[in-house]
């Protein structure tokens, strides 16, 4: 009986989601095919391509679903906007974190939009693949993918005939992964998603323009950076933490992992303020930090972060946000394993966006269902103890003993 009730609730909630996005389809046929496609993505279908999804839906051929992905008139960006509103309603919380990362889709041949031999972090090597830049939203109640962009290498954008063959719009020009990430973040900040923080790996965190965009938007961030990253008052971030006293390192959990709490040794230090970005008038409103995360079993393995945070944010908050970055990897794995994110067989640009959008919609629905029975909390941490120059104890945190840049002179 409980199982039957759960199935009824599932179907009812899924129908509600379909009703919310149904107006994006001008005709009943694509609306029905969208429903069949998403239901197939959520079903235990062995290979979630058009043929097997059509078989699951009871269609004689995959023509209808293939038409949905290629020639039917609907805009996947509209569905993305509805998806973000759905995620905001189901798992949105004031502590929400937006996570940016990319993932690879290994492909054969040379005709799939954006495909070429390029490094894929998913495979850990150079492969013939497509690269998608994604954003995930994570809160204390769940996580879900909320946006996507297909990266087009210069080998594509400089060959307009090749682009037209793959139905890539003429106005789509080359954009770095960082530029795609900025566009994704700005869209998310303008959406109903309640976003307090943004986090990303060093591929994005090392870009000054990416961090400045977040500072101008007034949103906090904790982003990974390479060890050679320069920062305020220090030419390299690894040199800064090489001077850290031993008691500046604290063992803290950055969240629950598959094998329990993810424990690392962390050191955090407040950096001098930058008047142009950290003040409103003469009032300091944001604080800059540098963090280091050291492996417990391999102390030589140290990761570095830069952070931009509200005045009331402490080291606990920064560690939590840094640890949240792994949520997007879990989203990728779940969306690929459960919702067929990487099991498409479309080659054209519009087909990629349509399949990917419906797949992350299916994944968001799973996240919403899971969130009804899941609630996460933060792990307690200890406070740092006193230290010596150039690290100076200030209340419950550490500061770099260097002068801040001057406050702006108020204008009349």
What φ, ψ does residue 331 adopt, rounded to 5°? -65, -45
| SS3 label, residue 332 | helix
pTM for the full predicted model: 0.88
Q: How is residue 265 written in tokens?
A: 């040794």
| Dihedral (Cα; 352, 357, 359, 363), 10-degree rounding | 150
How far apart (Å, rounded) are the C-alpha atoms in residues 17 and 200? 30
Helix 2-22 to helix 28-42 angle, to the nearest 10 degrees? 140
pLDDT at position 206, please?
Answer: 95
Q: In what helix (H) or strand (E) does residue 338 lie, and over which residues does it extend?
A: helix 326-339
Give the number of other CB atoms < 10 A from CB of residue 241: 22
User: Which value, to the nearest 10 degrees, does the dihedral of the CA atoms of residues 110, 147, 260, 306 take?
Assistant: 100
Say if residues 254 and 293 touch (Cβ distance below 8 Å).
yes
CA angle centred on 56, ends 167 and 338, rounded to 5°:
75
List the structure tokens of 68.
């949905």
H helix runs in 96-234, sequence order: 154-157, 160-165, 177-189, 202-205, 208-217
Per-residue pLDDT of the chain (412 residues; tens, 9 = 90+): 345 555 667 788 899 999 999 999 999 999 999 999 999 999 998 888 889 999 999 999 999 999 999 999 999 999 999 999 999 999 999 999 999 999 999 999 999 999 999 988 777 889 999 999 999 999 999 999 999 999 999 999 999 999 999 999 999 999 999 999 999 999 999 999 999 999 999 999 999 999 999 999 999 999 999 999 987 767 799 999 988 898 899 998 887 776 778 899 999 999 988 888 888 888 888 999 999 999 999 999 999 999 999 998 999 999 999 999 999 999 999 999 999 999 998 999 999 999 999 999 999 999 998 887 565 443 333 333 333 445 565 555 666 555 444 444 444 3
């Amino acid at each position: 009986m409980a199982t039957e009730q759960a199935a009824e609730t599932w179907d009812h909630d899924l129908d509600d989601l379909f009703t919310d996005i149904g107006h994006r389809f001008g005709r009943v046929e694509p609306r029905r095919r969208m429903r069949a496609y998403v239901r197939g993505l959520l079903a235990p279908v062995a290979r979630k391509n058009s043929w097997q999804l059509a078989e699951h839906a009871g269609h004689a051929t995959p023509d209808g679903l293939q038409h949905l992905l290629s020639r039917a008139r609907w805009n996947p960006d509209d569905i993305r906007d509805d998806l973000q509103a759905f995620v905001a309603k189901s798992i949105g919380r004031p502590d929400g974190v937006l996570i940016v990362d990319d993932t690879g889709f290994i492909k054969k041949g040379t005709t799939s939009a954006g495909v070429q031999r390029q490094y894929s972090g998913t495979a850990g090597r150079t492969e013939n693949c497509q690269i998608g830049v994604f954003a995930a939203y994570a809160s204390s109640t769940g996580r879900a993918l909320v946006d996507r962009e297909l990266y087009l290498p210069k080998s594509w954008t400089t060959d307009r005939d090749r682009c037209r063959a793959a139905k890539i719009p003429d106005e789509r020009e080359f954009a770095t992964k960082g530029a795609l990430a900025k566009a994704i973040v700005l869209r998310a900040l303008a959406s109903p998603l309640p976003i307090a923080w943004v986090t990303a790996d060093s591929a994005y965190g090392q870009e000054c323009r990416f961090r400045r965009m977040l500072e101008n938007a007034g949103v906090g961030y904790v982003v990974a950076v390479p060890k050679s990253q320069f920062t305020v008052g220090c030419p390299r971030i690894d040199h800064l933490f090489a001077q850290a006293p031993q008691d500046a390192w604290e063992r803290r959990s950055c969240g629950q992992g598959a094998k329990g709490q993810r424990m690392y040794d962390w050191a955090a230090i407040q950096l001098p303020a930058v008047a142009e970005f950290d003040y409103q008038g003469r009032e300091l409103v944001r604080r800059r930090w540098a963090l280091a995360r050291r492996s417990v079993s391999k102390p030589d393995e140290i990761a570095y972060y830069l952070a931009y945070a509200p005045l009331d944010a402490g080291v606990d908050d920064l560690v939590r946000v840094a640890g949240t970055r792994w949520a997007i990897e879990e989203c990728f794995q779940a969306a690929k394993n459960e919702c067929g994110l990487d099991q498409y067989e479309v080659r054209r640009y519009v087909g990629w966006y349509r399949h990917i959008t419906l797949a992350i919609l299916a994944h968001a629905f799973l996240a919403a269902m899971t969130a009804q029975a899941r609630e996460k909390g933060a792990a307690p941490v200890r406070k740092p103890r006193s230290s010596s120059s150039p690290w100076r104890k200030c209340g419950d945190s550490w500061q770099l003993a260097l002068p801040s840049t001057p406050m702006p002179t108020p204008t009349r």
